[in-house]
Amino acid sequence: MKLTQAIKPQLTPVCVLTPGGDSGSASDKRASWSPSSSLCASPLTEESYSEKLRLLEEAQHVPLERWKAPTVLAWLEVTLGMPQYGAMCAENVRSGKVLLELSDSELEAGLGITHPMHRKKLRLAIEELREPRLSRFPRISTLGHTWVSSEWLPDLGLPQYSEGFANNLVDGRLLEALTKKELEKHLGVHRKFHQASIIHGVHLLRIVRFDRQILAERRRQVETVDGDPVVWTNLRWVRWARSIDLAEYADNLKDSGVHGALVVLESSFTSDTMATALGIPQSKNIIRRHLATELEGIVLPARQQLDEQARYAKMERRRQEKLASGGSLGRSFSRSYGTGLEKGEKERRRASLRGSLSRALGLRLREEAANGGGSPGVSGVSGVGGGVSGVGGGVSGVGGGTMTSV
């Protein structure tokens, strides 16, 4: 695998009206708005922007179906950062209830959203507001497209894709629902290594439940400590390479797509992969062995810890599923009760079998005695007796098997 150092392009912001759903107070949002840098030809002024913020604050605890037209427009332009569709929204969408009922084709016709990624972004946001309680990630709406393109991608070491992500208005919801086809067709990510880098970056966001504050805090705690490598940014790996006496190769990691989630979560990522990313020649065997030792020392414990967490999470899900389906007490009692009956029935069958054999043996002994049989009869008893033991063992074995399966 050959990794080439990407060149960071000069970015032109697209729709830099707000953080596009980023978290913060109204004053934070107002300060982050820069109409002079927007290419969206938005009709918003500072005064109208403040008014839209007020409407959004008032609508925080109001269901979408009860929103009026001005609130819907404010949500589209400010919260989602899609003011280019504001004019048609104001003309055709008169309430939140109307917005909820729009199909994808009506979104295209009524709002003029022909871009498939923009349409998907709006659809995902609408569905989240339809049933907010069902959202798997309550903080996902705070990850706006500005944060994704200007912070998240550079942290992955992939700033070369920032402009494409910004043009497509990719926010947290779109990241969570992103497909490989969309990466290639709409976002221009064709290299498999870069696709894997983005996929594992999204995986890390799922691990922290799309809460960037949690992610930032975990990264802050390991800025100067070689721990929790799964959250390391691309630049943190550059610093690590320098710290293990590989300074001459460290800068090759910049903008390569190497970050903590890729290194730890991708099972096929090895010291050879890292050596290739660093640009260490194959002939430098001693340096490569040194890298392998250092890398395994921090990555293997992290992978083991994640495996343990995954097993615990799986057990917890099963426990919750049992509780949700009526609890395990009744099933345990039924299983124990049924097993007891089954065991008792087997014991009765065993006793009955032994009794039948005993009666048969008694009859045979009496017949042999009446006929004057001697030692051959004793031999016969011994043989059948062995059979009884064998049958008994067989029943015991079946019983043991049954208990094990339960």
pLDDT digits (tens, 9 = 90+) for 187-211: 999 999 999 999 999 999 999 999 9
pLDDT above 50 for 365: no
Q: What angle do CA 343, 345, 349 make, to 5 degrees?
A: 115
Name the burial class of residue 7, with classes exposed (0-12), middle (13-18) and buried (19+) by CB atoms within 10 angstroms of its CB: exposed
pLDDT above 50 for 185: yes
Instruction: Give how far Cα 71 sits from Cα of 15, 51, 68, 352, 382, Å.
Output: 19, 10, 6, 81, 95
Q: Print burial letters for 86-124: b (CB count within 10 Å at least 16), e (below 16).
A: beebbebbebbebbeebeeeebbebbbbebebbbbbbbb
Query: Do 73 and 90 touch, CB atoms closer than 8 A?
Result: yes
pLDDT digits (tens, 9 = 90+) for 307-324: 998 899 889 888 888 888
Residue 290 identity: H
Count other C-beta atoms under 10 Å from residue 211's C-beta.
17
Under 8 Å CB-to-CB from 204, ≥6 apart: which residues? 215, 230, 231, 260, 261, 265
Within 82-115, where are the H helices? 86-92, 96-101, 104-111
Query: Do 96 and 71 touch, CB atoms closer than 8 A?
Result: yes
Least confident piece of the model among 110-114, 283-287, 325-329: 325-329
pLDDT digits (tens, 9 = 90+) for 123-174: 999 999 998 888 899 999 999 999 999 999 999 999 999 999 999 999 999 9
Round to whole Å and give the CA distance between 123 and 380: 84
Within 285-325, where are the H helices? 285-324
Topology classification of domain 26-138: DNA polymerase; domain 1 (1.10.150)
Residue 391 identity: V
> Which tokens belong to 375?
């030692």
Note the pLDDT of residue 114: 95
pLDDT above 50 for 48: yes
pLDDT above 50 for 38: no
Query: Do 264 and 302 touch, CB atoms closer than 8 A?
Result: yes
Hey, what's the torsion of the CAs at 285, 290, 292, 293, to 10 degrees?
140
Residues paired with 68 in a beta bridge: 95
Extents of the domains making up the chain: 26-138, 146-307, 351-405
Note the pLDDT of residue 375: 41
Radius of gyration of the chain (CA): 34
> Which tokens belong to 43?
């009709």
Q: Do domains 26-138 and 146-307 have the same CATH topology?
A: yes
Note the pLDDT of residue 325: 80
Round to whole Å and give the CA distance between 344 and 73: 72
Q: Which CATH number fits domain 146-307: 3.30.70.250, 1.10.150.50, 1.10.287.3510, 3.40.50.1450?
A: 1.10.150.50
Round to whole Å and give the CA distance between 72 and 82: 12
Q: Mean pLDDT for the chain?
A: 79
